[in-house]
């Protein structure tokens, strides 16, 4: 549990373990003169001097957290990630301070990435790239049989995790005249304020809850995974889930690798149950050089880049600046992580 927000007085010691530009840090200082800003690009807690940890009240980080008792003045952790699964089991997870995420930065580029991959799978891009690498022009019969595209018009796309990213994917999918299904924990959004939140009409998406997963999968020509990794979603896509999937469906994962049983997915691909996959995330990252995913036919692979946002620094400044203002005045923070749910 975290205590209710209260206004702060005096200087606020802000530590970034990231690598923002000096210009970005100066803009943050000008917006909030009470901030005493320190940036130490770090990979682990030991990279930050003990005296800096002791005075830090606001920590902005991706994956560098203080050890127990190392940051006694800490009042709030601002993550530079959308997910919070990597905090569970760390001392930071048990601290009585709020944790906020960077959610809301990437829905548009991530949705565009997903549609790029849906179109790529529909137009047999993995096969076309193999042809290019071979340097051999295939016969008309080979092209007809192996490079004939699927039409998106009238196909059904199912988005697992129908939140900000999922709704943007749904909007783009409907532009291609696809039927949109969404799977989420419930119809009501959890309470709280979120960065970039807008009103969305879900009437154009048929909503399922997790207890209807297999029915949902049986209707999907394309399955898109965008949900957070939690105890409930870990291993969600197992052998039974792939068996329930509509035969010949395509699969796209831009969430977390641990949501998918990769061995089960590989079997589904090789059996033809899954006709193709686009994978941006894996259970172990970086992906090992001996991983079969590098060369698996029918797979489009990228190295965890779907969430990259071209205007990332500007949006992060907006989010962090707003949250600093809320912290100083004792208002509720944006993107508050719910430790009970894990995100």
d(CA 152, CA 143): 20
83: its two tokens: 């997910």
Residues 228-281: pLDDT tens digits?
A: 999 999 999 999 999 999 999 999 999 999 999 999 999 999 999 999 999 999
pLDDT of residue 1: 47
* 66-70, 194-198, 310-314: range with lowest mean pLDDT: 194-198
Residues 142-187: pLDDT tens digits?
A: 999 999 999 999 999 999 999 999 999 999 999 999 999 999 986 5
d(CA 76, CA 267): 44
pLDDT of residue 147: 97
Under 8 Å between Cβ of 144 and 86: no
Peptide bond into 271 cis (omega under 30): no
pLDDT of residue 190: 47
pLDDT of residue 68: 86
Under 8 Å between Cβ of 252 and 275: no
d(CA 230, CA 198): 25
Total-model pTM: 0.89
| Mean pLDDT of the region 30-46 | 96
Return the closest-CA partner of residue 69 out of 95, 101, 49.
95
pLDDT of residue 49: 97
d(CA 160, CA 269): 19
d(CA 39, CA 243): 49
Annotation: CATH topology of 12-105+310-329: Rossmann fold (3.40.50)
Ramachandran quadrant class, 79 (left: phi over 0; alpha: psi -120 to 50; beta: rest):
beta
pLDDT of residue 188: 45
List the Cα angle 70/76/81 in 5-degree steps.
100
Catalytic residues: 256, 285, 304
Considering the four listed CATH numbers 3.65.10.10, 3.60.21.10, 3.40.50.2000, 3.40.50.720, the one that applies to the domain covering 107-301 is 3.40.50.720
* 191: pLDDT strictly greater than 90: no
Q: Work out the mean pLDDT of the chain and round it to a whole number.
A: 93
Under 8 Å between Cβ of 153 and 177: yes
Indicate the pLDDT class of residue 6, thresholds 50, 70 and 90: low
Q: Map tokens 């997915």 to a residue.
A: 265
* 4: pLDDT strictly greater than 90: no
pLDDT of residue 162: 95
* 342: pLDDT strictly greater than 70: yes
| Mean pLDDT of the region 131-136 | 97
CATH 3.40.50.720 residue ranges in the chain? 12-105+310-329, 107-301
10: its two tokens: 């005096």
Indicate the pLDDT class of residue 210, thresholds 50, 70 and 90: very high
Q: Name 60's bridge partners.
A: 16, 78
| Mean pLDDT of the region 207-226 | 97
154: its two tokens: 């009238």
Ramachandran quadrant class, 222 (left: phi over 0; alpha: psi -120 to 50; beta: rest):
beta
| Mean pLDDT of the region 7-15 | 83
The larger pLDDT score, comparing residue 47 to residue 198, is at 47
């Amino acid at each position: 549990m975290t205590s209710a927000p209260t206004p702060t007085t005096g200087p606020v010691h802000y530590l970034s373990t990231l690598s923002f530009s000096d210009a970005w840090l100066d803009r943050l200082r000008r917006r909030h003169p009470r901030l005493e800003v320190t940036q130490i690009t770090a990979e682990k807690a030991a990279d930050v001097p003990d005296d800096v940890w002791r005075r830090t009240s606001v920590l902005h980080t991706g994956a560098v957290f203080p050890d127990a008792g190392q940051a006694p003045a800490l009042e709030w952790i601002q993550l530079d990630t959308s997910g919070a699964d990597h905090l569970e089991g760390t001392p930071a997870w048990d601290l009585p301070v709020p944790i906020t995420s960077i959610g809301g930065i990437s829905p548009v580029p991530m949705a565009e990435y997903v549609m790029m991959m849906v179109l790529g799978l529909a137009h047999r891009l993995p096969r076309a790239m193999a042809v290019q690498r071979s340097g051999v022009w295939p016969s008309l019969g080979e092209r007809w049989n192996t490079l004939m595209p699927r039409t998106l018009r009238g196909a059904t796309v199912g988005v697992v995790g129908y939140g900000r990213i999922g709704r943007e994917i749904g909007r783009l999918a409907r532009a291609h005249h696809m039927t949109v299904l969404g799977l989420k924990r419930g119809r009501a959004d959890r309470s709280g304020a979120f960065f970039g939140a807008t009103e969305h009409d879900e009437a154009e998406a048929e909503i399922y809850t997790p207890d209807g997963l297999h029915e949902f999968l049986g209707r999907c020509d394309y399955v898109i995974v965008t949900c957070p990794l939690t105890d409930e979603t870990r291993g969600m896509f197992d052998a039974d889930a792939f068996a329930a999937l509509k035969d010949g469906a395509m699969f796209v994962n831009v969430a977390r690798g641990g949501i998918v049983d990769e061995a089960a997915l590989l079997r589904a691909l090789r059996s033809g149950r899954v006709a193709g996959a686009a994978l941006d995330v894996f259970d172990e990252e970086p992906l090992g050089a001996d991983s079969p995913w590098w060369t698996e036919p029918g797979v489009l692979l990228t190295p965890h880049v779907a969430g990259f946002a071209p205007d990332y620094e500007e949006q992060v400044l907006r989010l962090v600046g707003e949250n600093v203002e809320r912290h100083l005045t004792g208002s509720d923070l944006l993107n508050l992580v719910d430790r009970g749910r894990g995100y």
